[in-house]
Amino acid sequence: MSSVLIEELGPRGKARVRVATIISILVGIVLLALVVWKLGTAGQLTWAKWEPFTVWANLEFLLGGLVNTIKAALAAMVFSIIIGFFFALGRLSRNAVVRGLCVAYVEFFRSIPLLLAIFMGFFGLLAAGLDVGAFTSLVVALVAYNSAVLSEIFRAGIKSLDKGQTEAAQAIGMRYWPMMRIVILPQAVRRMVPAIVAQLATLSKDVSLGFVIGYEEVVRRGQGFPGFSDAGNFQAYVVVGVVYFILVWMLARLARYLELRQRTSSIGTGAAAIDGAGLEDIAALSEEADAAEVEAAAARGEDPDRVVDSQTRARGAAEEQGTKLNEARKGDRDRRRGRD
Amino acid sequence: MLEFYTEYWPDYWDGTLVTLRLVVISFTLACIIGVIIAGFRVSPVPPLRSFASGYVALFRNMPLLVVFFLAFFGVGDLGFVFGPFPTAAVALGMYTGAYMAEVIRSGINSVSSGQAEAGRAIGLGFIPLLREIVIPQAVRTVIAPIGNLFIANFKNTAVALTISVFELTYISRKLINETARTWLSLLGAAIIYTVILLFAGWVFRTLEDRYAIKR
Amino acid sequence: MADALVEMRGVNKWYGELHALKEINLDIAEREVVVVIGPSGSGKSTLIRTINRLESIQEGEILIDGERLPEEGKGLAKLRADVGMVFQSFNLFAHKTILENVTLGPVKVKKMGKSDAEEKARGLLERVGVAHQADKYPAELSGGQQQRVAIARALAMEPKVMLFDEPTSALDPEMINEVLQVMLDLAEGGTTMVVVTHEMGFARSAADRMVFMDEGEIVEENDPESFYKGAKTERARDFLSKIITH
Ligand SMILES: Nc1ncnc2c1ncn2[C@@H]1O[C@H](COP(=O)(O)OP(=O)(O)OP(=O)(O)O)[C@@H](O)[C@H]1O
Ligand SMILES: [Mg+2]
């Protein structure tokens, strides 16, 4: 278990780790006991406070909130993709005015809080005479906000596509737009699928802010469900937290799975050319992919700004390629040297 | 239009100050938590590693709003009652801290093991190796993601309005009620956010260029 | 052989189930040059990396200059300072200039003054022929130049023994000789060296002894001429016939 920082331990190191393990377990147990004790003395563990969550009508109400959350997230996702695409293309456009407008839009929505955008979608539209209701307001705000974010991801995606593709398309005489549509875009979309699913996880978290304009998503239902007064804040938010955790966690897993599948398949074809280098690389890659995914998510934070992950990934891929070439070269040389 | 802003400038100013204070405190906390959790995560002690992964997973898979409500109302029910501002600062710090830990960890892991081995081979011990090789190299890869985190953290301060912290977004919401000039109220806050965050983005990009690794 | 600089006694190492080093006994005398050769996966790198404990061992003992190799801590770091290592992939510190790469060890480990260390470093860079690159970063140098800097970096610690793990196999053919030349000079100057390499020319002109490994074992020890002309063991002859096809 040797890593960048920690080398293989000697006997003294192992003894220290054992001691640290025991101490940290004890500390953990004590802390946990304290929490449970505190919960108990505060009367939070009584059955009466949790019982409301076993009543089907209450659960149904809460799950209705979950459905609303997913509904808003999906709607926002679909429209964000479409609009984000146009802004990505707009930013790559050759027309300076179009480019400028797109940059302004993207930069604006990337530098205000989502809550402010939600207020714009709700109060702003209301002031403009459009009483569209909480759902539409929320979706409009999420779309305005996320299409800015997605357009950055798309832009990076389009740019990261092999330049050779563009050149090949140009060589066979395709003009700009047909080329974009037929060659570049489909590939960009395919490559973006994992990022889009990851973004869906973020979006479903974002939907919670619809709370402030009265959208009946999980959190609002969590404090408005019929049994709320029998339960309490603590119980309600713990349950809401658990519901959210499961939803977001599953989406994140899915995104990671898709990403890994995509990477291994593209690496697989790459490695086939340089025979042999294959299998361990893929194992190593999944580790690295994990780190990259995590970094990407971290960079995305509550809302993805610049798309660091695509950069690091590109760099990682380049290095990967480099080592493989080196290995290939080495083997080649060994063979060559053998001959003379 | 201008007279609106000259009249309500003091409100915006107060809100901006609250937001900035919240950012500074929560982000500092996030950095501290991030270092500790990342340290746990790469440590050879299994329980610490599990604790760190659990911490990160918990905060990454919950919306900030739920974290705030748990911290404010939930913990309040346990008899620990703190004011909105301290609660918001700590909750946001813990939330961003989870992301920070991941950024730091991936920064450490981005240093190739060959670099560390070369350092050990010339006789560097753990601390000198960390100081001379690992940290300087990790810092370079970590600046951009930390900049993004800072910006995200900045924007996330707005969520504190849900537990009655009178920060900038709250102010614009309040001005809508008081003046009924919705778009002007909202735009005032938007402009302040945009100016500050474009500046912050520029600062981090400059840092990034300055410390970019020469390849 | 009490005067051996490096002694390996009954060394065994496992990677999980894999028995990577099997009962290794090897003595390396002062000023001796030992070339280790063997098929891929035979444990050459593992062997050489145990000498400064970049790899731990489970059984046996390793002594350097009569001192038992410590397993951790300050003692280990101190001992590593006396063992120079050159890696296949150079591993120069990417964020430090060439000069800083060479002075880091002397300044931080040997607590040498900065200007003394720099003077010494420049001398060493001169010796390996990259003095004029001192202020560049590793990525700005060719592979051959980087590897020569890596040798200078190791030499700056005035090690008792130098370890080389396939120092030329990541290099383009036209750069191999410049690195081998530096190594030949070292060998002639009396540096104690353990070298994993398949470069027959180097082995023939510099090696005092060849060590042939296969499947984690030392199968044969021989002088280079006899080894290449007629190895004693079947396995060595078999291996040689694969890499040398006349
Ligand atoms: N960190 C490790 N974990 C598990 N197995 C390892 C590790 N390092 C090496 N091995 C295994 O130990 C054996 C010896 O590896 P080693 O790298 O010493 O071979 P080598 O002779 O240097 O080969 P090459 O000529 O390819 O460099 C191989 O089977 C290898 O797969
Ligand atoms: Mg090897």
Tell whether the model's pLDDT for residue C15 goes beyond 70: yes
C208 or A294, which is more confident? C208
pTM summary value: 0.85
Q: Would you call B77 and A238 a contact, using CB atoms and an 8 Å cutoff?
A: no
Contact by Cβ (8 Å): C192, C28:
yes
DSSP β-bridge partners for residue C162:
C84, C193
How far away is chain C from the Cα of A260, in angstroms, using its nearest Cα? 27
Q: Which of C46, C71, C95 to mutate to test the interface with B (most CBs of B within 10 A)?
A: C95
Number of domains in chain B: 1
Task: Dig out the tokens for A254 from the structure.
Answer: 């899915």
pLDDT along chain A (340 residues), means of 10: 76 94 97 93 89 88 93 94 88 88 91 95 92 94 91 76 65 67 69 83 94 93 82 89 94 90 62 30 35 43 32 41 46 43
Q: How many alpha carbons lie under 13 Å from residue C181 in its C-beta half-sphere?
A: 10
**B4 found inside a domain:** no
C42 lines ligand 1 (CB under 6 A): yes
Q: What is the pLDDT of residues B175-201, one digit of tens each?
A: 999 998 999 999 999 999 999 999 999
pLDDT given for residue B145 in this prediction? 93
Residue keyed to tokens 């270092």: B35
Cβ distance A237 to B74 less than 8 Å, yes or no, reads yes
Shortest CA distance from A123: residue in chain B: B182
Q: What sign does the CA torsion over C202, C208, C212, C213 have?
A: negative
In this prediction, residues B12-41 reach a mean pLDDT of 97
Q: Cβ A334–C198 below 8 Å, yes or no?
A: yes
pLDDT digits (tens, 9 = 90+) for C96-128: 999 999 999 999 999 999 999 999 999 999 999
Q: Which pLDDT score, from 0 to 100, does residue A313 have? A: 39
Nearest residue of C to residue B133, measured between CA atoms: C93
Question: How confident is the model at residue A226, as a pLDDT?
Answer: 79
Q: Does C71 touch chain B (CB under 8 A)?
A: no
Q: Which of C76, C25, C26, C78 is nearest to C55 (CA)?
A: C76
- Nearest partner of A150 among A215, A69, A212, A90, judged by Cα: A90
- Given a contact cutoff of 8 angstroms between Cβ atoms, the answer to whether C81 and C55 are in contact is no
The tens digit of pLDDT for each residue in B98-135 reads 999 999 999 999 999 999 999 999 999 999 999 999 99
| Nearest residue, CB atoms, B123 vs list C87, C91, C109 | C109
The DSSP H or E segment spanning A335 is helix A308-339
Burial class (CB in 10 A: 0-12, 13-18, 19+), C36: buried
Q: Is residue B2 part of a domain?
A: no
- Say which residue the tokens 């705030």 belong to: B68
Q: What is the DSSP letter of B161?
A: G
Residue B30 lies in a domain: yes
Task: Classify residue B108 as exposed, middle or buried by CB count within 10 Å of its CB (0-12, 13-18, 19+).
Answer: buried
Identify the pLDDT of residue B193.
Answer: 97
CB B168 within 8 A of CB B18: yes
**For a pocket test of ligand 1, which of C17, C45, C49 has the largest count of ligand atoms closer than 8 A to its C-beta?**
C45
Name the residue of chain B whose CA is nearest to C153's CA: B122
Domain A54-324 belongs in CATH node 2.60.40.10: no
B147 part of a folded domain: yes
- Residue type at A88 in one-letter notation: A
Mean predicted confidence (pLDDT) in B161-186: 95
Give yes or no for a contact between C116 and C80, defined as CB atoms under 8 angstroms apart.
no
Angle between helices B2-42 and B46-60 (to 10 degrees): 150
Which residues have C-beta within 8 Å of that of residue A127, sequence separation ≥ 6?
A: B182, B183
Give the H/E segment covering residue A22: helix A11-41
- The answer to whether A150 and A202 are in contact (CB under 8 A) is no
DSSP state of A94: S
CATH number at residue B57: 1.10.3720.10
Domain ranges of chain A: 54-324
B176, part of any domain: no
- pLDDT confidence band for B214 (50 / 70 / 90): low
Q: Does residue B180 lie within any of the structural domains?
A: no
The CB density around residue A1, as the number of other CB atoms within 10 Å, is 7
CB contact under 8 A, C55 and A8: yes
The sign of the torsion formed by the CA atoms of A298, A302, A306, A307 equals positive
What are the phi and psi torsion angles at A223 (to 5°)?
A: -105, 5
Q: Is A339 in CB contact (< 8 Å) with chain C?
A: yes
Q: Check if the beta carbon of residue C93 is closer than 8 Å to that of residue C101.
A: yes
- Tell me whether residue B173 is in a domain: no
Instruction: Return the structure tokens found at A25.
Output: 């377990």
Measured CA to CA, the distance from residue A228 to residue A49 in angstroms comes to: 9
CB C198 within 8 A of CB C243: yes
* Contact of C84 with C161, CB cutoff 8 Å: yes
B40/B56 Cα distance (integer angstroms): 11
> Which range of residues forms the domain containing residue B51?
19-167
Q: Which residues of A144-180 are buried (b: 16+ CB within 10 A; e: fewer)?
A: bbbbbbbbbbbbbbbebeeeeebeebeeeebeeeebb
CA distances, A67 to each of A63, A77, A217, B126 (Å) = 6, 15, 8, 52
Instruction: Give the whole-number percent of chain B exceeding pLDDT 70.
Output: 99
Q: For residue B191, is it within any domain?
A: no
What is the predicted pLDDT for the residue at A191?
A: 74
pLDDT of amino acid A334: 45
Distance from residue B169's CA to the centre of ligand 2 (Å): 60
Q: Which residues are paired to C9 by β-bridges?
A: C61
pLDDT attached to residue C3: 72
Average pLDDT over residues B147-170: 96
* C131-166: pLDDT as tens digits: 999 999 999 999 999 999 999 999 999 999 999 999
